[in-house]
């Protein structure tokens, strides 16, 4: 199911993923979901291989929400296909578990080195998620959006305002007002 066209409307920050050694971070928006808007089960809860991977790890599968704002990945739809990682020409994404192998729920407020793998086939398993750790490097080419099988990615520069409002750094510049 495609990520909501009006994302992040109706959601709020439930976590913050930071890039170590920088001021860069992105929000994780929630609440997460177990069902899509059409009533069908969210992809990660419906995919038998993903469910089996969580079971093999001994991790409880819970709704996670959307990681990122301008480059947003619905982690409840992401089935760890890796097409976005392979398609991205500027390596916005990394497999988060290859940087820090922790449960998804702990990743929601973690700081990552940004040294995780950006190779499609190097995910730890199907519990891994493509995280837009370097969303600030996005060149808005939309390659990731076009290749994502469950349509779990939304790239929208205009969501910068939502990111800044959540961070408390938004400044509205009126016509004729000098830049701050």
Q: How far apart are CA 65 and CA 87, in angstroms?
A: 23
pLDDT digits (tens, 9 = 90+) for 35-75: 999 999 999 999 999 999 999 999 999 999 999 999 999 99
pLDDT digits (tens, 9 = 90+) for 76-99: 999 999 999 999 999 999 999 999
Task: Look up the CATH number of the domain holding residue 71.
Answer: 3.30.70.20
The more confident residue out of 4 and 35 is: 35
- The model's pTM is 0.91
Q: What are phi and psi of 66, to 5 degrees?
A: -115, 125
172 inside domain: no
- Tell me which residue range forms the domain holding 75: 12-167
2 — pLDDT class (breaks 50, 70, 90):
confident
Domain count, the chain: 1
Identify which of 64, 70, 78, 73 has the alpha carbon closest to the alpha carbon of residue 31: 64
Q: Is the pLDDT of residue 178 over 80?
A: no
180 — pLDDT class (breaks 50, 70, 90):
low
pLDDT digits (tens, 9 = 90+) for 129-173: 999 999 999 999 999 999 999 999 999 998 888 888 888 887 777
64 inside domain: yes
From residue 35, how far is each of 31, 39, 45, 63, 73 by CA, in Å?
A: 12, 6, 9, 9, 16
């Amino acid at each position: 199911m495609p990520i909501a066209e009006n994302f992040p409307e109706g959601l709020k920050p439930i976590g913050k993923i930071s890039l170590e050694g920088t001021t860069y971070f992105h929000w994780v928006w929630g609440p997460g979901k177990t069902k899509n808007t059409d009533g069908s089960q969210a992809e990660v809860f419906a995919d038998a291989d993903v469910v089996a991977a969580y079971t093999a790890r001994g991790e409880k599968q819970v709704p996670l929400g959307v990681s990122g704002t301008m480059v947003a990945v619905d982690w409840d739809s992401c089935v760890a296909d890796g097409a976005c990682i392979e398609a991205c020409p500027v390596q916005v994404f990394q497999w988060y578990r290859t940087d820090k192998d922790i449960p998804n729920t702990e990743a929601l407020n973690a700081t990552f080195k940004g040294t995780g793998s950006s190779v499609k086939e190097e995910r730890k398993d199907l519990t891994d998620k493509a995280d837009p750790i370097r969303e600030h490097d996005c060149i808005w080419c939309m390659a990731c959006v076009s290749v994502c099988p469950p349509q779990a990615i939304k790239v929208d520069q205009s969501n910068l305002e939502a990111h800044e409002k959540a961070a408390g750094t938004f400044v509205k510049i009126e016509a004729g007002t000098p830049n701050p």
